[in-house]
């Protein structure tokens, strides 16, 4: 599998290098520095090509192929008598059938939309963080997850793009994004909790907001669990676990401590970090209580927060030695996370290795 590892590594590094060039040659538009268009899209296209033009081997690709064939063998009304699938994803399948008549375009389009909107979310902070480091963190800790997780990728990337509307207090636009995302994956309603965010002038964390989040998430999960018998049969698989707490959050605690220690400095260099810290805190609480409803996918609506907070933490570290150590630990953490989450002994490795593309195969 070494050739596949080399291929994936080369793709991530290439995307990272192009992101670095995009930031280095940024242009000023309306008083704001935006990444160089050519390098920005080259970085994006590397990841889109690897994800979108893969052979149909990822986690849920076969299930999505079955859905595609079923959707296009009957009318919408007849289809909904058999399945409960989000409306916009159903329409996407009809569109691809009548325009391209090739399921591969489902993979291409969903990959392009997912990567594009995650990049838009990251580049929103182009002036405040290291863009290549953010792309590197995203690529190793989140990008590979969306191989085969099509609907969630669409929804999570749109929500990530919508962060800006919460930060800018454009709540109607954010609610529209949530509704749009929900039409691709119903779990996107989870993002409405972001509306609790308020920007505070004090450099102290608003504890009342954190307490509200801590209480709201488990209460909401319990509510969903209570109404689960009335939901579609398709979603019953998510409610089989026993209610309780998960210890999976422990691996995120060192990052939480790091962000807490640097919170004042993080907010001083960029007030938006207050929002990203709230997202990271939501991730911790969500991981603790996900066993209540037996699904951890909601964390992917807030996972991008580390792509902002880690580069910012390196930036506010005073000594060069401290910066070097934190940078090195960040790189090692990303490699460690990627290996055990998507490759190595992960169940996903059978889908990721060896890498197969519609144009070529990577040998063992």
Round to the nearest angstrom and report the end-to-end CA distance of the chain: 5
- Domain assignment present for residue 271? The answer is no
pLDDT value of residue 227 = 54
pLDDT value of residue 205 = 57
- Domain assignment present for residue 136? The answer is yes
- Domain assignment present for residue 195? The answer is no
List the domain range (segments joined by +) for residue 142. 1-148+345-357
pLDDT value of residue 250 = 81
Q: What distance in Å separates the CA atoms of residue 242 and residue 99, rounded to the nearest whole number?
A: 45
Q: What distance in Å separates the CA atoms of residue 311 and residue 313, rounded to the nearest whole number?
A: 5
Total structural domains within the chain: 1
- Domain assignment present for residue 89? The answer is yes
Q: What is the pLDDT of residues 153-192, one digit of tens each?
A: 999 999 999 999 999 999 999 999 999 999 999 999 999 9
- Domain assignment present for residue 79? The answer is yes
- Domain assignment present for residue 339? The answer is no
Query: What ranges make up the beta strands (E) of the chain?
Result: 27-29, 32-34
pLDDT value of residue 242 = 55
Residue 65: name the closest of 186, 143, 150 by CA: 150
Contacts of 92 (CB under 8 A, 6+ apart): 106, 109, 110
- Domain assignment present for residue 40? The answer is yes
Partnered with residue 361 across adjacent β-strands are 356
pLDDT value of residue 291 = 67
Residue 263: name the closest of 247, 274, 249, 252 by CA: 274
- Domain assignment present for residue 316? The answer is no
Q: What is the pLDDT of residues 202-256, one digit of tens each?
A: 555 566 666 677 777 667 665 655 555 555 555 555 555 555 666 677 888 899 9
Q: Which residue has the tokens 């960029």?
A: 270
pLDDT value of residue 308 = 98
pTM, two decimal places: 0.92
Walking along the chain (364 residues) 10 residues at a time, the average pLDDT comes out as 94 98 94 95 98 91 93 84 87 95 97 98 96 98 96 98 96 97 94 84 59 69 56 53 66 91 93 94 87 74 97 95 96 96 92 95 76
């Amino acid at each position: 599998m070494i050739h596949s590892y080399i291929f994936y590594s080369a793709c991530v590094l290439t995307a990272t290098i192009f992101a670095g060039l995009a930031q280095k040659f940024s242009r000023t538009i309306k008083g704001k520095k935006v990444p160089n268009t050519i390098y920005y899209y080259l970085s994006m296209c590397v990841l889109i090509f690897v994800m979108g033009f893969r052979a149909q081997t990822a986690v849920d690709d076969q299930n999505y192929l079955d859905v595609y064939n079923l959707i296009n063998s009957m009318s919408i009304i007849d289809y909904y008598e058999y399945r409960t699938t989000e409306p916009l994803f159903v329409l996407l399948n009809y569109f691809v059938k009548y325009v391209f008549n090739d399921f591969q375009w489902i993979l291409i389009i969903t990959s392009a939309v997912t990567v594009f909107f995650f990049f838009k979310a990251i580049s929103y902070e182009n002036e405040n963080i290291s863009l290549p480091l953010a792309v590197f963190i995203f690529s190793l800790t989140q990008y590979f997850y969306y191989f085969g997780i099509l609907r969630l990728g669409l929804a999570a990337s749109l929500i990530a793009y919508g962060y800006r509307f919460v930060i800018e207090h454009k709540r109607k636009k954010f609610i529209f994004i949530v509704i749009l995302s929900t039409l691709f994956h119903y779990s996107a309603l989870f993002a409405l909790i972001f509306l609790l965010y308020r920007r505070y002038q004090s450099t102290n964390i608003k504890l009342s907001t954190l307490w509200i989040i801590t209480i709201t998430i488990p209460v909401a999960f319990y509510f969903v669990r209570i109404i689960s018998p009335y939901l579609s049969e398709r979603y019953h698989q998510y409610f089989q676990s026993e209610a309780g707490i998960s210890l999976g959050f422990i691996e995120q605690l060192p990052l939480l401590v790091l962000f807490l220690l640097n919170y004042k400095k993080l907010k001083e260099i960029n007030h938006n970090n207050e929002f990203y810290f709230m997202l990271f805190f939501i991730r911790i609480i969500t991981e603790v209580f996900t066993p209540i409803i037996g699904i951890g996918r909601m964390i992917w609506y807030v996972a991008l927060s580390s792509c902002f907070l880690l580069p910012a933490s390196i930036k506010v570290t005073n000594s060069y030695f401290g910066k070097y150590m934190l940078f090195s630990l960040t790189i090692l953490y990303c490699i460690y996370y990627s290996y055990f989450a998507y490759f190595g002994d992960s169940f996903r490795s059978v889908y990721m290795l060896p890498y197969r593309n519609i144009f070529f195969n990577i040998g063992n």
